[in-house]
């Protein structure tokens, strides 16, 4: 994935912001970050973040106390550091939902000190 | 004699395609029935808990259940009659009406409908269809089955697995199983390039340092009651294993992500002509099949990679089914050569009021700076350049075609040309 052209380090990054999945070639030059291959400006922001502090949203499930739906799906309501994905998923392995929550309800606040909340993404507990 | 219930539009399948079709038909004033064999609405989206749904339609990154709920929550305010836990066992034709025998909780029911929409989704290819040799032991299942166990039943189906095939569901499950604490040894793909979306290779494999091995396949299975190991070998350009490249990988599961096939048992039972390329029905731009009054949409029509287009295809079918007439369509065939994997729709109505037509296609291979041309007889009707085309990424192409351009019975021919050959 790494090659060097004109003495600048080139890195190819796949933008995951939209389904186009543009392959963006990035180079840190004395004039700043140079990008090519992105179909829109959001790709440049994504590449800049990716090179310094990659962020991701997390989708997973947590256990419930209800036999009709033993798990319910959840996600982060914002992005967390990519390096924390596994830790947050592990922490959520300890959570058990004991109320019939609906889409958007908060399951866990400020998970692992990331500042983001975990919210429910399914209404299956509302329609047993 | 069962009492017959009469509807203008009946939709079979309440996944995203069927939900959108039923709501669109209702909106257009049709008396609409929606039939689903499962207890819950939403189809396969119920188990797709990852995000990325609705990016095109809502400009939001929704999970599958959240996306489905946007449609399900509109049903109570609509006039759509919904039957869940109901299975269509037989369809008969009476002129252009369809007569359905439906098995429901209250017993057998008979439905007469003016328009029928088939939104039955797709199913996954299994090991039988790809011919992996060895004992048939527990531990060999599809990525969709792994997804159902993990996301609906809350049971981790493996501790250490190999994924065969690089379809999107396999890539999504590689990440999902890793997050749940299982070890994914690697994703093995017989073709030289991955078949899933590039963004999924990036965010599901690279993010978790899961290796992707292309031009490799599983050649043998080992184990008694439960799978204990698989043999992997490199393949040549003809997909034949290369002797001497075998390696044995201990694992308790082999997860298959080797493709989806449109589900068309019901369609075939009434003689709806099927396209050998898409494995779905042959349709016109309103998603009406060659049988008048029978429509197809969503993944039953062709396997889509974005749910947003699945909903759109349901809406096209629902709207057309509500207002359909039996006037001659003046069908013009639409064909493609082997530079495209397929083209949908496969017919265009010369007599249609609307001149804006929507096509969906996939290129046959990776192409850069490709030019798409549409010809009819000797005339080029349309040309467009594409910077990149990849078979996993479906292209949506709205084109205006006038009645004058559609005169004559010669087919519309779609062709792609690489820059190298231009
Ligand atoms: C396992 C799996 C995972 C997938 N994951 C993704 C993903 O992550 N992202 C993505 O964009 N796409 C995914 N897809 C593709 C997915 O199918 C589409 O995005 C979308 O769900 C298709 O919608 P649909 O309405 O056409 O079909 P479906 O969602 O499959 O819905 C079809 C419905 O028809 C019902 N049905 C079928 N036959 C009958 C019958 N005879 N009588 C009554 N009801 C019937 C079924 O029960 C089902 O509810 C996946 C497909 C599969 C098979
Ligand atoms: S660069 Fe723009 S168009 Fe390309 S994937 Fe990113 S968001 Fe989508």
The 10s digit of each residue's pLDDT in B196-216 is 988 999 999 999 999 999 999
Query: How far is B187 from B257, CA to CA, in rounded Å?
Result: 9
Whether A17 and A42 map to the same domain: the answer is: yes
* A18, A73, A85 ranked by CB distance to B65: nearest: A73
Q: What is the mean pLDDT of residues B306-316?
A: 96
Q: Is the pLDDT of residue B393 over 90?
A: no
A71 shares a domain with A43:
no
Pair B59, B34: CB distance under 8 Å:
no
Q: What is the pLDDT of residues B150-170, one digit of tens each?
A: 999 999 999 999 999 999 999
Element (H, E) at A51: helix A42-52
Using the Cβ of B63 and the Cβ atoms of chain A, whether some distance falls under 8 Å is answered with yes
Domains, chain B, in order of start with CATH, read 1-124+259-326 (3.50.50.60), 126-258 (3.50.50.60), 329-422 (2.60.40)
Instruction: Select from B181, B186, B182, B126 the least CA-distant residue to B162.
Output: B186
Same domain, A63 and A112: yes
Q: What is the per-residue pLDDT for B271?
A: 97
Are A16 and B171 spatial neighbours (Cβ–Cβ below 8 Å)? Answer: no
Q: Which residues of A touch B49 (CB under 8 A)?
A: 59-61, 73, 121-122
Split at pLDDT 50, 70, 90, the class of B354 is confident
| Mean pLDDT computed over every residue of chain B | 94
Asked if B154 lies within 8 A of A23 by C-beta distance, the reply is no
pLDDT at A58: 96
Which tokens hold the place of B32? 């609409």
Query: Are A89 and B179 within 8 A, CB to CB?
Result: yes
Closest ligand 2 atom, CA of B199?
5
pLDDT band at B128 (very low <50, low <70, confident <90, very high): low
Q: Which atom of ligand 1 is nearest to the CA of B298?
A: 26
Smallest Cα distance from A31 to chain B, Å: 28
Residue A4 lies in a domain: no
B153 in contact with A, Cβ within 8 Å: yes
Return all residues near B379 (Cβ < 8 A) that are at least 6 apart. Answer: B405
Residues A16 and A33 in one domain: yes
Residue A90 lies in a domain: yes
Same domain, A72 and A108: yes
**A127 in any annotated domain:** no
Pocket test for ligand 1, best of B90, B121, B204, B266 (most atoms within 8 A of CB): B121
Closest CA to B216 of B244, B257, B245: B245
Domain contains A126? no
Q: What is the pLDDT of residue A1?
A: 42
Find the chain A residues whose C-beta atoms sit closer than 8 A to any C-beta of B: 14-16, 18-21, 23, 56-61, 63, 70-71, 73, 75, 82, 85-86, 89-90, 93, 103, 121-124, 127
CB contact under 8 A, B202 and A14: yes
Position with higher pLDDT, B131 vs B376: B376
CA dihedral B241, B247, B249, B255 (to 10 degrees): -10
Is A93 inside any structural domain?
Answer: yes
Is there a contact between B199 and A21 if contact means CB atoms under 8 Å apart?
yes
A2 pLDDT more than 70: no
Ligand 2 centroid distance, CA of B186 (Å): 28
Assess if residue A5 is contained within a domain. no
- Specify if A103 maps to a domain: yes
- Domain, as residue range, for A33: 10-52
Q: Is residue B321 within 8 Å of B25, Cβ to Cβ? A: yes
Residues of A whose CB is below 8 A from B154: 61, 63, 70-71
Beta bridge partners of A59: A75
Q: Are B33 and B83 in contact (CB under 8 A)?
A: yes
Residue with CA closest to ligand 1 atom 20 = B307
The pLDDT of residue B422 is 43
Cis peptide, bond prior to residue B345, ω within 30 of zero: yes
The residue-averaged pLDDT of B93-117 equals 96
Co-location of A69 and A47 in the same domain = no
More confident residue, B415 or B422: B415
Lowest mean pLDDT among B122-131, B288-297, B385-394: B122-131
pLDDT of B68 strictly over 90: yes
Question: Does residue B392 register a pLDDT over 90?
Answer: no
Tell me, what CATH number does A66's domain have? 3.10.530.10
A2 within a domain of the structure (yes/no): no
User: How many angstroms does the Cα of residue A21 sit away from the middle of ligand 2?
Assistant: 6
Is there a single domain that holds both residue A68 and residue A114?
Answer: yes
Residue B133 pLDDT grade (very low, low, confident, very high; cuts 50, 70, 90): low
**For residues B272-298, b (16+ Cβ closer than 10 Å) or e, as one string?**
bebbebbbbbbbbbbbbbbbebbbbbb
pLDDT band at B382 (very low <50, low <70, confident <90, very high): very high
Confidence label for A31 from pLDDT (cuts 50, 70 and 90): confident
Residues A116, A63, single domain; the answer is yes
* Closest ligand to Cα A40: 2
B313 alpha carbon – ligand 1 mean position (Å): 14
* pLDDT tier for residue A28 given thresholds of 50, 70 and 90: confident
- Angstrom distances, CA of residue B250 to CA of B160, B166, B190: 8, 20, 20
Please give the share of chain B, as a percent, with pLDDT higher than 70.
97
- Residues A67 and A48 both lie in one domain: no
Is B180's CB within 8 Å of A60's CB?
Answer: yes
Tens of pLDDT, residues B226-241: 999 999 999 998 889 9
Q: What is the pLDDT of residue B352?
A: 87
Which residues of chain A neighbour B63 with C-beta distances below 8 Å? 59, 73, 75, 121-122
pLDDT for the residue A18: 86
Q: How far apart are CA B25 and CA A103, in angstroms?
A: 27
Mean pLDDT of B405-413: 92
Cβ distance B181 to A93 less than 8 Å, yes or no, reads yes
Q: Kindly give the number of the ligand 1 atom that is closest to the alpha carbon of B121.
A: 27
What ipTM was reported for this prediction? 0.90
pTM score of the predicted model: 0.92
In terms of domains, do A14 and A38 share one?
yes
Do A65 and A86 belong to one domain? Answer: yes
- Minimum-distance ligand 2 atom for the alpha carbon of A20: 5
Ligand (nearest to CA of A38): 2
Q: Per mean pLDDT, which range of A5-14, A32-41, A78-87 is the poorest?
A: A5-14
Q: What percent of chain A has pLDDT over 90?
A: 77
- What is the average pLDDT across A1-16? 68
The yes-or-no verdict on residue B38 having pLDDT over 90 is: yes
* Rounded-to-integer distance, Cα B126 and Cα B145, Å: 11
| Amino acid A7: pLDDT | 53
- Mean pLDDT within B261-278: 96
Q: Are the beta carbons of A122 and B63 separated by less than 8 Å? A: yes
Q: Total structural domains in chain A? A: 2
Rounded Cα distance between B23 and B315, Å, is 8
- A79 & A116 share domain: yes
- Alpha-carbon distance of B295 to B301, in angstroms, equals 9
Identify the band that residue B373 occupies on the pLDDT scale cut at 50, 70 and 90. very high
């Amino acid at each position: 994935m790494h090659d060097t052209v004109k003495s600048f380090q080139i890195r190819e990054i796949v933008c995951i912001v939209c389904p186009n999945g543009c392959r963006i070639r990035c180079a840190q030059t004395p004039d700043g970050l140079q990008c090519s291959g992105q179909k829109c400006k959001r790709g440049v922001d994504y590449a800049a973040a990716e090179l310094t502090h990659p962020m991701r949203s997390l989708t997973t499930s947590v256990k419930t106390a209800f036999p009709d739906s033993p798990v319910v799906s959840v996600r982060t309501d914002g992005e967390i550091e990519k390096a924390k994905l596994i830790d947050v998923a592990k922490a959520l392995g300890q959570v058990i939902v004991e109320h019939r929550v609906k889409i958007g309800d908060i399951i866990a606040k400020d998970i692992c000190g990331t500042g983001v909340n975990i919210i429910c993404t399914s209404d299956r507990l509302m329609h047993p | 004699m069962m009492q017959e219930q009469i509807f203008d539009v009946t939709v079979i399948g309440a996944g995203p395609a069927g939900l959108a079709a039923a709501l669109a038909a209702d909106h257009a004033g049709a008396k609409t029935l929606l039939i689903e064999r499962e207890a819950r609405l939403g189809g396969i989206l119920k188990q797709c808990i990852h995000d990325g749904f609705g990016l095109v339609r809502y400009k939001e990154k929704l999970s599958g259940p959240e996306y489905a709920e946007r449609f399900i929550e509109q049903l109570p305010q609509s006039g759509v009659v919904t039957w869940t836990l109901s299975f269509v066992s037989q369809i008969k034709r009476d002129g252009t009406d369809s007569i359905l025998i439906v098995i429901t909780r209250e017993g057998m029911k008979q439905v007469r409908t003016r328009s029928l929409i088939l939104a039955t989704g797709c199913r996954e290819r299994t090991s039988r269809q790809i011919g992996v040799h060895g004992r048939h032991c527990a531990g060999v299942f599809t990525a969709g089955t792994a997804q159902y166990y993990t996301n609906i039943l809350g049971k981790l189906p493996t501790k250490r697995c190999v994924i065969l095939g690089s379809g999107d569901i396999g890539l999504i499950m590689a990440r999902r199983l890793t997050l749940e604490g299982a070890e994914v040894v690697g994703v093995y793909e017989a073709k030289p390039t991955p078949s899933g979306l590039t963004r999924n290779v990036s965010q599901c494999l690279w993010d978790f340092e899961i290796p992707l091995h292309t031009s490799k396949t599983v050649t043998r299975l080992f184990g008694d009651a439960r799978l204990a190991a698989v043999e992997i070998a490199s393949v040549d350009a003809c997909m034949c294993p290369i002797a001497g490249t075998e390696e044995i990988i201990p694992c308790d599961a082999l997860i298959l992500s080797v493709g989806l096939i449109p589900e068309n048992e019901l369609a075939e039972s009434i003689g709806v002509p099927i396209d050998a390329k898409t494995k779905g029905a042959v349709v016109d731009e309103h998603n009406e099949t060659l049988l008048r009054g029978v429509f197809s949409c969503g993944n039953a029509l062709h396997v889509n990679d974005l749910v947003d287009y699945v909903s759109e295809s349901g809406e096209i079918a629902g709207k057309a089914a509500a207002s359909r007439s039996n006037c001659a369509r003046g069908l013009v065939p639409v064909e493609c050569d082997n530079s495209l994997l397929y083209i949908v729709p496969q017919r265009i109505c010369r007599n249609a009021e609307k001149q804006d037509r929507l096509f969906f296609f996939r290129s046959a291979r990776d192409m850069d700076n490709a030019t798409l041309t549409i010809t009819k007889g000797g005339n080029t009707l349309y040309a467009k350049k594409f910077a990149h085309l990849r078979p996993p990424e479906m292209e949506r192409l709205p084109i205006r075609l006038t009645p004058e351009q559609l005169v004559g019975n010669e087919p519309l021919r779609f062709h792609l040309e690489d820059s190298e050959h231009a």
